[in-house]
Amino acid sequence: MAEPPIELKPNIDEPNVPVVVQPNVVEPDEEQSNVVVNTGEYFINCEKMKVRDVMIEWCKRQAANLGFSIVISKSDNGAFNRKKFFILGCERGGVYKERKRKSKKEDTATRKTLCSFRLRGYYLASEQWSLSVVCGEHNHEMSKTLEGHLFAGRLKPEENECVRALTRNLVAPKNIMTMLKGRNSDSKTNMKQIYNSCQRFKTDVRGELSELQHLLKCCETHKYFHKYRTIGDSTTIQDIFWAYPESIKLFNTFPTVLMMDSTYKTNKYKMPLFEIVGVTSTEESHNVGFAYIANEKEDNFEWALETCKSLWISKETFPKVIVTNRDKSLMNVVAKVFPNSTALVCRVHVYKNVKAKFKALCTAKEQKMDQLVKTLKLQWNSIVDSTSEESYTTAVVKRTVR
C-alpha cells in the first residue's frame, strides 16, 4: 500500500523572518518579464569622443530613435585621483522609491521594470571617452512614440528660458508650443509640459505670496484702481473689484452704454467673475472693470455697481442704456443704482430662450426641425435688426403671416 504524501512544512529550526513589503512598488508582469529586446548593437560602434556631454547626447539620440529614454545612473568627475566614468541606463531600470510625501491618488503605479540595460563610458589616457555596452537587453517593449515622454519630452534649459520669457509677455501656451516646434522639429514636448513650465514660472514670480496677495501687489505696482471688502471683521476677502487706469478714462469719455455679465468656472475658487464692458462712439468695446464676487446676490451686485459708479469724475453722469442677461438679482440692482438708465436684455440670451421654447413646443422630426430652426433664426434677425418702427412692424407681420 502506497504511503500518503508527506505534507511540506516550514523549517522550524530557522527563525521566522518577516517579509518586508515595499509600498507603491510595482513588480514586472509575467508577460512583460518574458519580453527581451536587444538594442546593444546600435551602441557598439560608437566612436571615441573628447567631450563627455557630446557622447551622452549621442547615446540619447540613438535611444530616442529606438523608442526608449536614457538616464545617467552613475558618474564620477575624477576627483581625488579617481578615474572618470559614467554609467547610462534605461529610465525604466531599478525600483521605485517611495516618497515621504504621499500622493493624492492611491492607485499610483511606476514605470520601473528592473530593466538591465547598461552603457559605460571610460576616460582613456589619450584624453578621449570610450563607450562600451555592459548589457544591451531590455525587458519591456519599445515605445512607438516619445511625444510627451517624461524624459525625452523634458524642456531644455534654453527652451525653458524661452517659455518663461514668452509667458512674461502673456503669450498663450499653444503659441509657445508652436514656436518651440518650429525651432526644433524633433522636440518631444507636449502641452502638459508647457503648462507645467508656465505654472512654475508664475509660482517663482509670486514667491511666498498667495494668489490674492499677489493680485493686490500687482494692482498697487501698476496703479490699478482696486477695492475689496471682507466678511465681517475677519481678514477673509468676500468681493474684490479692479479697473485699469486707461479703462477709467474711456469710461468717463464714453459712459452712454454699459454691458454686464458674469462668467463661471474661470478660476479654481469657482467664484463668478463679474465683467462690465463699455462701448465707444466708434462701436468698439472696452473693459471697464472686473469683480470677483462671492455670490450672485443683490448685495454683491450692488457693492460692485456702487464701486463702478464711484469711478465717474462727474457725479451727474450716468449711462443711458445698460444691457444685462435675464438675471433678476442684477436687473433689480441696476434699477436701484441707475434708476434713470434704460435696462435692456441681451439679444443673445433672448434668442437662446426663444430657440429653446420653440424646440419644446414644436413636434417636427429632427431633419425638419433643423430647417425650421434656420428659418426661425432668419426671421428673428430680421426683427431685431430693424432700424425703424416701420421695418420692425413689417418684420413682425411677415413672421405672423407665415
Q: What is the pLDDT of residues 265-282, one digit of tens each?
A: 677 777 889 999 999 989
Asked if residue 72 is part of any domain, the answer here is: yes
pLDDT at 130: 93
Q: Do 219 and 302 belong together in one domain?
A: yes
Residue percentage of the chain with pLDDT more than 90: 36
Mean pLDDT of the chain: 83
240 lies in the same domain as 183: no
**Total count of domains within the chain:** 4
Decide if pLDDT at 259 tops 60.
yes
Are residue 274 and residue 387 in the same domain, yes or no?
Answer: no
Residue 174, C-alpha cell as written in the block: 499653444
358 within a domain of the structure (yes/no): yes
Q: By residue range, what is the domain housing residue 375?
A: 349-401
Q: Kindly state whether residues 264 and 329 are assigned to the same domain.
A: yes
Is 240 contained in some domain? yes
* Contact call for residues 194 and 202 (beta carbons, < 8 A): no
Confidence (pLDDT) at 23: 42
Buried b (16+ CB within 10 A) or exposed e, 6-21: eeeeeeeeeeeeeeee
Can you name the residues that pair with 225 across neighbouring β-strands? 243
Q: What letter does residue 279 receive in the DSSP assignment? A: E
Longest distance between any two alpha carbons in the chain, whole Å: 117
What integer pLDDT is reported at residue 103 of this predicted model? 58
Same domain, 339 and 355: no
Q: Is there a single domain that holds both residue 252 and residue 274?
A: yes
198 plus 241 within the same structural domain: no
One domain for residues 202 and 216: no
- Report pTM: 0.61
- Residue spans of alpha helices (H) in 264-365: 298-309, 328-337, 347-361
Query: Is residue 21 domain-resident?
Result: no
- CA distances for 234 relative to 175, 229, 230, 237, angstroms: 42, 10, 6, 8
C-alpha cell at 158: 534654453
Q: Are the C-beta atoms of residues 50 and 128 closer than 8 Å to each other? A: yes
Tell me, yes or no, whether 231 and 329 share the same domain. yes
User: Same structural domain for residues 239 and 325?
Assistant: yes
Helix (H, G, I), strand (E, B) or coil at 84: coil
Whether the pLDDT of residue 22 is over 50: the answer is no
Q: Both 197 and 289 in a single domain?
A: no
147 part of a folded domain:
no
Same domain, yes or no: 256 and 222 = yes
